[in-house]
Chain A
Amino acid sequence: MKKLWIGSAALALLLAACGSETEETPEEGASANASPPQETDGPTEVIFWHAMSGELEGALNSLVDDFNESQDEYEVEPVFQGTYEEALTKLNTVAGTTESPALMQVFEVGTKFMIDSGYIQPVQDFIDEEGFDTSIWEENITNYYSVDGVQYSMPFNSSTPVLIYNKDAFEEAGLNPEDAPMTYSELQEAAAALTEGEQKGFSILNYGWFFEELVAAQGGLFVNEDNGRAGQATEAVFNGEEGMNVFNLIKDMYDEGTFYNSGQNWDDMRAAFQSGSAAMILDSSAGVKGMIDNAPFEVGVGYLPVPDDAERNGVIIGGASLWMAGDIEEEEKQGAWEFMKYVSSAEVQAQWHVDTGYFAINPAAYDEQVVVDQWEEYPQLKVTVDQLKETKANTATGGALISVFPEARQRVVNAMESLYQGADPQEALDKAVEETNRALENDALKNGN
């Protein structure tokens, strides 16, 4: 009997030990890659959660190292937390506790979610306090991340969609490889000429972002209340004329046999382009450089096409921004702010743009020598920047602000996929709108509106 008691006591101890161990793990993991040991009077530690993997992570780490070397007050610790979605889910579990990171990279459609979460510190406070001049930033980028004149987060890695095409295939089909299709009818004609044997003319990834961009390029809105920027959006409106233009285009081209269905996976779409299955695709500007390096043919880059009679509005900014946690030490906040300022400087942005293909949020970066050299080698990169510069700042290109964006995107993807099964474009879009409305309703219910 006595032994039994000892046994169960030992077990209880073991359980307790396990419990405290798991709690400690994040700190251990973070300090494992810290270079200097943390003393109380040493540099303040600023934990930075991000979602940059592969080559991007390398570029980010060297950027952080440079910052840490540039001063000795703060020590930024980059911690990779999986994809944007995964990182946000993890943040969700620690937000508001002491485990919460000081800096967090969140994708563009998580903006509203972060504002509503109540666990963040708008960077506007620091901008005001210091009288920081935000006009040095690219207006189209800062517009996305500011709501009612308040800059909530710091734009960091920004990208937009572009048309990427196979120049060699253009020549073979008797098209001018320097002349990218700008309108839907030009696109359809080019696609028809390019479709031959295994090669299809055009492909769009089944991903909500491209639909949103194609709608915004024509000046169309995604949700009501000025895309959710004038007030809480209550209804999706993407089934209007602009959305129909996009769906009709996909439907027509698919029925003509000039459209390639590349699924939901970015890598599959890029493989289809590189293997010659699709001669034109829509891709993120951040993927352009990799595509040029890897494709066995000449790659051209063009603007997002618009319907023939539509006025070109431009593109919504994609990518991610940096958020500051609200419930952390003042010192950590200051450190996070210093890092944000450092990151937005022209020099750093120039290097970042060259390394990754993401936009420089500070246009002065484009005058830096590294960028000038890079653009000489890859003139296609300039097209992506020009497209953003020519964008008109309005509610459409400002991008929608809703917290149920991930769900809305799933609905749009479903609708896109149903087109390949012969669904009617209007019905498919209406259904997606209806389902998005239900999500918006539920969300309003949760927030007690």
Chain B
Amino acid sequence: MTMAQEVRASDEKKLRKREWSNFLTGILFLLPSLLLFGVFLFYPMVRTVYLSLFLTSSQGVPIVFVGWDNFFALFQSTSFQLSAKATALFVLYTVPASVLLATALAVLANQKLKGIGLFRTMFSATMGMSVAASSVIWMFLFNPSIGLFNRILAALNIPGIQWLLDPQYALLSVSIATIWMNTGFAFLILLGGLQNIDSSLYESAKIAGVSDACQLRKITLPMLSPTLFFVTTVTLINAFQTFGQIDLLTKGGPMESTNVIVYSIYKDAFINYNVGSASAQAVLLFAAVLIVTVIQFKIGERKVHYQ
């Protein structure tokens, strides 16, 4: 070994040592969040996958290993197919409508007018309402015998609708309530996004004599796209995980038309005590949300304009 080689080797050793120590320091910085994630996220996830391969006792203790049987049973069960369909429809009903409505309101409320603060407060007010409180309000609105909607219909001589009791309308009714609940949060974020747009862009447009519609299309929406993307992603994931309003308004009925997967998981795990089957559904739901989110990032993000 020549001198030069020796020096290089010891240099490499030093370098490796430093890298190792850097790595350790890095891990140390990450430790708090890794620990929290590990306890509250990674461990439960792994445990869920594990449980999905078992029949469990009522206390959730795995008893009989059944392999993929829980999954096969789900794919064959009409109940689960209905749940999957209800979830997909629910996402379809609520996400685009929530984002569109919130965007429209945000653009309206982004003007400098006297008293606009009042409208901004009103439009974002639903964010301050808990799901439970809002659901109770909507429950009364939808009530077939004493509810407001059917009274209005009666005043117009239109026969009343069984909003939450008719399988045709139930999911739609829950969706309407959900859109209302979503709007506040989406509105607030979008309004913030709008206010971040550089006003010089609009000034230049005004000087160039660009119409309002064109301004909206060419300036507002592209500049708002990162915020829109964020709001859509969050609303989408929330829609997949909806539970509160379903539990309070319909309990998954009528005829399982609103039995979205999260609700079905809850029923299986905490009412029927089939933790194995519930875990299998949770795994499938996780896969579905993951796939949709990945697709959204791959396709949706192309259209996003970052400054």
Contacts and interface: CB of A to CB of B under 8 A. Distances in A.
Interface stretch (A147-155, A162-170, A340-348, A439-447): A439-447
Interface in A286-317: none
Contacts of B29: 4
A85 interface: yes
Contact of B28 (A4, A93, A117, A439): A4
A435 B31 CA distance: 48
B272 A404 contact: yes
A113 B58 contact: yes
Nearest to B248: A265
Given A89-B270, A272-B145, A406-B271, A445 B253 contact: no
A261 B64 CA distance: 42
A418 B255 contact: yes
A446 B272 contact: no
Interface string A218-255: 00000000000000000000000000000000000000
Interface in B235-280: 250-251, 253-256, 267, 270-274
A264 B255 contact: no
B110 interface: no
A89 B57 CA distance: 13
Counting chain B residues whose Cβ lies within 8 A of the other chain, the interface size class is: 35 or more
Contacts of B167: 417, 421
B273 to A, nearest CB: 7
Contact of B146 (A1, A271, A435): A271
B277 to A, nearest CB: 8
Nearest to A95: B59
Given A271-B143, A414-B255, A8 B59 contact: no
**Interface residues of A: mostly helix, strand, loop or mixed?**
helix
A142 B142 CA distance: 42
Given A268-B143, A275-B145, A263 B254 contact: yes
Chain B interface mostly: loop
Contacts of B144: 263, 268, 272, 277
A8 B28 contact: yes
Contacts of A1: 25
A394 interface: no
A261 B162 contact: yes
A176 interface: no
Contacts of B146: 271, 275
B234 interface: no
Contact of A417 (B56, B57, B255, B271): B255
A227 to B, nearest CB: 20
A446 B145 contact: no
B138 to A, nearest CB: 13
Given A11-B32, A263-B164, A445-B55, A417 B64 contact: no
A410 B145 contact: no
A219 B121 CA distance: 61
B295 interface: no
Given A406-B272, A446-B63, A277 B35 contact: no
A123 interface: no
Contacts of A446: 55-57, 63-64
A264 B253 contact: yes
A117 B273 CA distance: 12
Contacts of B143: 268, 271
21 contacts: A1-B25, A5-B28, A8-B28, A11-B35, A15-B35, A85-B270, A263-B144, A263-B254, A264-B251, A268-B143, A272-B144, A275-B146, A277-B145, A403-B58, A410-B267, A414-B253, A418-B255, A442-B55, A445-B64, A446-B55, A446-B56
Given A92-B273, A117-B58, 5 more contacts: A8-B32, A89-B270, A406-B272, A413-B253, A448-B63
